[in-house]
A and B are shown apart, each in its own frame.
Chain A
């Protein structure tokens, strides 16, 4: 078991596990943490899992771990690993089952004080328009051909159906559509699961939240994003639903034999992988991109439903109910990107699992409106606590594969959270503090208790202090919808 004395302290916010720590490590592991967060992380297997990730064939120095890290399966949540393209590997387990789980933020010019009397109605309308809960089905039932179109077009499919604007797509990572998706590489089972779930939130830690902009730290960046202090915003956190889960399940199972064929030795079977230039690696990449596009489209349709809810509640009130998109960003994804490595451009496949892309100012991938300030980074907090809007920096490009944190990060097991907290009590406490809650399951609510998570403010201060993101605005929740 790794101990704190095995790590090298680089700065107040940065630590390193040298490659020499374990014989099978191909590269060092770089952790963006304070000593306090590091000591907490040593309580579970997250750091061991990061070390395991450093054994992947073709991995490029360093594997990076964010301050919201916690133990996952195979690869830690909050981990980033870049592998050389195309000779390195791609690992489905290092991206996760919820492919393109991500966050979308929309801003309004509705002041909280003008909306306060209608928040209960708004919570009901959002709950009604945005299907949530276990195995939830939406009003859209796709044919196979339509599902395949969603896989290829992503959020653009929603635009064709009148559920998006060009501005929405423009302000979405990759324009809401990854190139190279091929639904022909997706199993029939995954398609069956995907056909009924488009436009649904699901359950677990996914949510829709209405927040108020509580504090602005960077006026120029906030203005570019359309964020104003005291105004309402809407945040959507979800992913590719059963479609993505099945694609990951299929490929983790299929690649079990591929690793043997390619003679790849791994410390954990969940890290199963295939060379990016192998048929197996290419097939997974094409299927994973299909799920990513499904998720972009899913969040787009949920945003459309949320706009209908806002219209229903605020139309005729004299308030401008329109919601404009700030950004939509993934935090479970594998992307082929070009990064500077030792002064040279290198094409790599960046695996981000529970980590957000955080490109700095001037990056050609960004829409013009964000080129001067850097890419918006959306960091949801735990239920009932603050969420954050950050921007990527030049340092994040140089030191963390253009990545930063994705949330608060769990600290308490779900088992213990359920034992320690009661869902009904928690809901009452949240309501008492002025947060309107709609939840499908009380035990699910208890598992997501804020006390089960790290302090999101501490996580954000760490990435801000380390320089791999910069604070723009803090959001405070007033409505929480959970499946």
Chain B
């Protein structure tokens, strides 16, 4: 098993992911990469240039994670920009991130929203783990 990664889980109506990583920053990054993969997101073949600075404050890791991923979905829809590089720092309940992206070439299927359904960020066999359910 890789130190960090994601895998799709079975869900009758929606999409679900298990994400794992050695630390919170990598967990958030893997969740974003996994979400992009679920949507079948393909970006234009050009240098990464779009930068969005993100500051989030939430009461716990789960709220921060949902908020972070929903930010990515917002820019995807409004600016047609996808992100593939996510340098980020987590300090307590605060997230500071730079989202680097470029225009979308194609997307197979969009995600409507990231949900809190049974979401817990917790330590498991593979380090930190979270199971995310997406409304599609």
Contact A97 B113, CB 8 Å, known A135-B80, A256-B59: yes
With contacts A192-B78, A268-B118 taken as known, whether A413 is within 8 angstroms of B10 at the C-beta atoms is yes
Which stretch (A70-78, A310-318, A388-396) binds chain B? A70-78
- Enumerate chain A residues within 8 angstroms of B12, measured Cβ to Cβ: 44, 46, 70-71, 410-413
Q: Are B112 and A245 in contact (CB under 8 A)?
A: yes
Q: Contact at B13–A253, with CB atoms within 8 Å?
A: no
Most B-side CB within 10 Å, residue of A96, A97, A189: A97
**What A residues does B11 contact at CB under 8 A?**
71, 413-415
A73-B117, A73-B133, A269-B116 known; A203+B109 contact, CB < 8 A:
yes
For residue A384, CB closer than 8 A to chain B, the reply is no
Q: Give Cα A70–Cα B15 distance, bound, in whole angstroms.
A: 13
Bound form: Cα–Cα A412–B13 in Å = 8
Query: Taking the complex as formed, is B98 at the interface, i.e. its CB lies under 8 A from any CB of chain A?
Result: no
- In the complex, which range does the number of interface residues on chain B fall in? 35 or more
Which residues of A lie under 8 Å from residue B66 when comparing CB positions? Answer: 253
A74-B116 Cα distance, complex, nearest whole Å: 8
Q: Chain A 170-210, CB within 8 Å of chain B: the 1/0 string?
A: 00000000000000000001001100000000011000000
1/0 contact string of A389-411 vs chain B (CB within 8 Å): 00000000000000000000011
Cβ contacts under 8 Å, A44 to chain B: 12
Interface presence of A464 (CB below 8 A): no
Given contacts A96-B135, A249-B70, contact A416 B10 (CB under 8 A): yes
B11, B15, B59, B76, most chain A CB atoms within 10 A: B11
State in angstroms the CA–CA spacing of A74 and B119 once bound together. Answer: 10
Number of A-B contacts (CB under 8 A): 111
Q: Does A242 contact B (CB under 8 A)?
A: yes
Residues of A close to B40: CB separation below 8 A:
443
CB neighbours (8 Å) of A242 from chain B are 77
Instruction: Decide yes or no whether B103 CB sits under 8 A from chain A.
Output: no
- Dominant SS at the B interface? loop
**Chain B residue at smallest Cβ distance from A96:** B135
Q: Are A444 and B8 in contact (CB under 8 A)?
A: no
Structural contact, A252 and B115, CB atoms closer than 8 A: yes
Any A CB within 8 A of the CB of B14: yes
Closest CB of chain B to A321's CB: distance in Å? Answer: 34
Within 8 A of A (CB), among B33-91: 40, 58-59, 62-63, 66-67, 70, 74, 76-78, 80
Q: Does A341 sit within 8 A of B, measured CB to CB?
A: no
Cβ < 8 Å to B, chain A residues 425-479: 441, 443-444, 447
- Beyond known contacts A134-B110, A204-B110: 14 more, CB 8 A cutoff: A70-B12, A134-B107, A135-B76, A135-B110, A203-B109, A204-B136, A249-B113, A253-B63, A253-B66, A270-B115, A272-B116, A410-B12, A414-B14, A414-B15
Report which A residues bind B (CB closer than 8 A). Answer: 44, 46, 70-74, 77, 93, 96-98, 134-135, 189, 192-193, 203-204, 242, 245-246, 248-249, 252-253, 256-257, 268-270, 272, 410-416, 441, 443-444, 447
The 9 closest A-B pairs by CB, nearest first: A73-B117, A269-B116, A73-B115, A270-B117, A71-B12, A245-B112, A97-B113, A270-B116, A70-B12
